[in-house]
Amino acid sequence: MNNRIRDLRGAQGWSQADLAERLDVSRQTVNAIETGKYDPSLPLAFKIARLFGQPIESIFDPGSST
């Protein structure tokens, strides 16, 4: 699954560690999600969407798998 988290994070000027802290996960988890190695759980995906103030489907693209 592709996602736009890296772009959204960059737009906020946050590091992976900053985002990890806001999501209460590890920096490694943020990195794995950004690189498409790991698909987040639904609660975490909603948390990410809420944090960036965007609908979940505008951040995650389920159509194309990695």
Partner 1 sequence: MGQRVSPREAAAAALQRGLFRLFSVAMPAAPGRRLPASRGTLGWMLAYILALVVSHAGLRHVDSALPRIGVALLPLVPVVALVLLSVRRVLGMDELERRLEAVALAVTALVTWLALGACWMLEHAGVALDPARIGFLGIPALYLVARHGARLRYA
Tokens of 61: 């693209």
Q: For the window 23-62, what string marks contact with partner 1 as x by the rule CB under 8 A? A: -xxxxxx-xx----xx-xx--x------------------
Q: Which residue lies nearer to partner 1 by CB, 4 or 38?
A: 38
Tokens of 10: 């960059």
Q: Which residue lies nearer to partner 1 by CB, 8 or 16?
A: 16
- 20 scored as a contact of partner 1 (CB under 8 A): yes
Cα dihedral: 65, 30, 55, 22 (round 10): 170
